[in-house]
Amino acid sequence: MVDGRQYVLLRNQESFKQRERVLFAAVAVGFVLSIFLAVLSGRLLAHQVMAPVIRLARQVRHRDQLLDIAPPLHPDYAVDEVGELALSFDKTLSRLRDALSREKLFTSDVSHELRTPLTVLASSCELLLCAPSLDQHSAAQVDRIARSSDEMRQLVNTFLTLARASDARGNGVQACLKEVADGLVDIWGRLIREKGLEFVYDSEHATSQLYDLTLLQSVMGNLLRNAWHYTHHGFIRLTLNEHGFSVEDSGIGIPDDKREAMFQPFIRGEQSQGEGLGLGLSLVQRICGIQGWRVELTPREPNGCCFSVDLAVAK
C-alpha cells in the first residue's frame, strides 16, 4: 500500500519448483543406488569372508579325509581364524587316525594270537570225542566246548576281516547265499531241534549272487544264535529270497521301546540267560553297514520277531 494505492508483487516460481523436483529425484536415485551398492558390497564382502569357511567345510566333508593319504588342510589357508580352525581340525583328525590305527592293530593282533589256541582247543576236542572211554555225559560237554570253540573261531575270522581294511567289500573268500546257509543249517538246525523247537528252512528262491563268506556267515550265524537263545517253544524259520534272507522265531520278542537299542553294543533282550555279552546284533549291524546291506527288525504276532537282511542294497 503506497499513497493509497495497493500494489501486488508477482514472481514466477516455476524454475524454482523445477530445480526442487530435480533435486528430489537426484536424492531419491542416490538413495536407491546407495542401498543397492551397500547390498552388493555386503554380498561380495560376505562371499569373500565366507569362501574359505565354505571351502574348508567341503574339504572336511570329503570322504577320503580319514585316509592316511589325505593331505593336511591348514597349509591352504592364511594365518587367520579360518587357518586356525583348519589347523585344529588337522590335529583332531590326526588323533582320530591314531586311535583308529591302534584299534585296528589291537583287533588284528588279538584275533591273530587267538587263532593258535583255538586251533589247539578244536583239535583236542576232536581227539577227546574219538576216545572210546568217553561216556555220553562227558561227550556232550566236549561237544559243547567244540561248538563254542568253533563260534569263537568264526568271530576271530570276522574281526580279522573287519580289521584288515576300512572297506571290507569283496576282500575275502566269496560264496553264494545258499552255500553259507547250508553250512549253518547243519550246525544250528541240529541245535534248534535238540532244544525241542521246529526248524523250517526255505531256500527255494535263493540267488547265485556271491558275497563275502566270513561276513555273511557271521551275520546269519548271529541271527540264528539269537533266535535259538530267545526261543523256548514254537519254531525258528530261515528263509532265503532273491534279495537276501530272514530269520523268524516265535520267541519272547522285543518290546517297542527297546527295538532300536537292540543293535547297540552290550544290550541284551528280556529274560537273558547264559554268558552272552549282547554284542551279536551290534556286530550284525556293523557288518551290514560296512557291506552296504540293510538289516530290519519287525515284530511278529502274537509273539516273536523277524530279522530281515537285504543283501541287494549294495548292488
Residue 25 CB contacts under 8 Å (≥ 6 apart), including other chains: none
Same domain, 48 and 152: no
Residue 169, pLDDT score: 53
Residue that finishes a domain, picked among 116, 142, 166: 166
Given a cut of 70, whether residue 135 has pLDDT beyond it is yes
For residue 162, is it within any domain? yes
Q: Is residue 294 within 8 Å of 311, Cβ to Cβ?
A: no
Which of the four pLDDT bands, split at 50, 70 and 90, describes residue 270? Answer: low
For residue 178, is it within any domain? yes
pLDDT exceeding 70 applies to what percent of the chain? Answer: 84
What are phi and psi for residue 81, nearest 5 degrees?
-65, -40
Same domain, 206 and 162: no
For residues 31, 35, 37, 38, the Cα torsion angle rounded to the nearest 10 degrees is 130
Using CA atoms, how far residue 109 sits from 101, 116, 150, 160, 290, in Å, is 12, 12, 19, 9, 21
Same domain, 53 and 108: no
Instruction: Read off the pLDDT of residues 204-259 as tens digits, 9 standing for 90 and up.
Output: 888 889 998 888 999 999 999 989 988 999 999 999 999 999 999 998 877 776 76
Nearest residue to 220 via CA among 174, 259, 179, 262: 179
Same domain, 185 and 301: yes
For residue 283, is it within any domain? yes
Q: What is the mean predicted confidence (pLDDT) over 65-87?
A: 76
Question: For the chain, how many structural domains are there in total?
Answer: 3
CA distance 237 to 5: 124
Nearest residue to 244 via CA among 314, 309, 169: 309
Same domain, 219 and 150: no
Using CA atoms, how far residue 226 sits from 47, 75, 282, in Å, is 55, 51, 12
Q: At what angle do helices 213-230 and 280-291 cross, to 10 degrees?
A: 150
Same domain, 199 and 118: no
Query: Could you give the 3-state DSSP secondary structure of residue 245?
Result: strand
Same domain, 101 and 182: no
What are phi and psi for residue 180, nearest 5 degrees?
-65, -45
What single string gives the DSSP state of each residue in 82-149?
HHHHHHHHHHHHHHHHHHHHHHHHHHHHHHHHHHHHHHHHHHHHHHHHT-TT--HHHHHHHHHHHHHH
For residue 69, is it within any domain? no
For residue 74, is it within any domain? no
For residue 26, is it within any domain? yes
Residue 274, pLDDT score: 47
Q: Is residue 177 within 8 Å of 310, Cβ to Cβ?
A: no
- Region of poorest pLDDT, from 48-57, 79-88, 166-175: 166-175
Which of the four pLDDT bands, split at 50, 70 and 90, describes residue 198? Answer: very high
The per-residue pLDDT of the chain, averaged, comes to 81
Range 265-269 contact pairs with CB under 8 angstroms and sequence separation of 24 or more: 269/230
Residue 219, pLDDT score: 93
- Copy the grid coordinates of residue 161: 576281516
Residue 246, pLDDT score: 95
Q: Is residue 303 within 8 Å of 251, Cβ to Cβ?
A: yes
pLDDT exceeding 90 applies to what percent of the chain? Answer: 21
Residue 47 CB contacts under 8 Å (≥ 6 apart), including other chains: none
Same domain, 146 and 184: no
Residue 236, pLDDT score: 95
> The domain containing residue 107 runs over which residues?
97-166
For residue 21, is it within any domain? yes
- What's the CATH code of the domain at 266? 3.30.565.10
Residue 232 CB contacts under 8 Å (≥ 6 apart), including other chains: 195, 251, 252
Given a cut of 60, whether residue 25 has pLDDT beyond it is yes
Q: What is the mean predicted confidence (pLDDT) over 253-279?
A: 60
Alpha helices in 195-244 (DSSP H): 213-230
For residue 2, is it within any domain? no
pTM: 0.62
Which of the four pLDDT bands, split at 50, 70 and 90, describes residue 166? Answer: low
Same domain, 127 and 212: no
Residue 37, pLDDT score: 92
